[in-house]
C-alpha cells in the first residue's frame, strides 16, 4: 500500500490541497491518522472511492462556482469518468 500526504494526493488528482482535506472531512475519501496532526491517504482506496461518487451538482451564481467546477472536473477525467453538470 502506498500512503501519501494531502499535498501529494492533490498533485496526483490535479486538485487543490484544500479540496483533498474537504473530501476527507466530508468522508468522501478514506484517510488514516497515524497521529493527531498527521493525515495520510492510500491512493488506490481514494481512486476507488472517487469512482463511486456521483458527478457533482454545482450551484449557479456562487462566488467560487467556476473554481469548483474546474477542481471537480480534473479528478473525473483522471479516473476516466464522464463529468455531468446539472444546473438549476
What 3 state SS string does 31-44 have? CEEEECCEEEEEHH
Residue 74 has pLDDT above 80, yes or no: no
Residue 78 has pLDDT above 70, yes or no: no
Which domains does the chain carry?
A: 3-78 (1.10.10)
pLDDT at 36: 87
Q: How far apart are CA 66 and CA 48, in angstroms?
A: 26
Burial class (CB in 10 A: 0-12, 13-18, 19+), 35: exposed
Q: What digits encode the pLDDT tens for the residues 16-63?
A: 999 999 999 999 999 999 898 899 999 999 999 998 866 554 445 444
Mean pLDDT in residue range 72-79: 55
pLDDT at 52: 86
Amino acid at each position: 500500500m502506498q500512503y501519501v500526504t494531502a499535498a501529494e494526493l492533490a498533485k496526483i488528482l490535479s486538485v487543490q490541497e484544500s479540496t483533498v482535506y474537504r473530501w476527507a472531512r466530508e468522508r468522501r475519501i478514506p484517510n488514516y491518522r497515524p497521529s493527531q496532526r498527521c493525515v495520510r491517504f492510500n491512493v488506490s482506496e481514494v481512486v476507488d472511492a472517487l469512482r463511486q461518487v456521483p458527478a457533482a451538482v454545482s450551484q449557479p451564481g456562487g462566488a467560487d462556482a467556476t473554481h469548483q467546477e474546474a477542481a471537480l472536473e480534473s479528478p473525473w477525467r483522471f479516473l476516466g469518468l464522464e463529468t455531468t453538470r446539472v444546473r438549476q
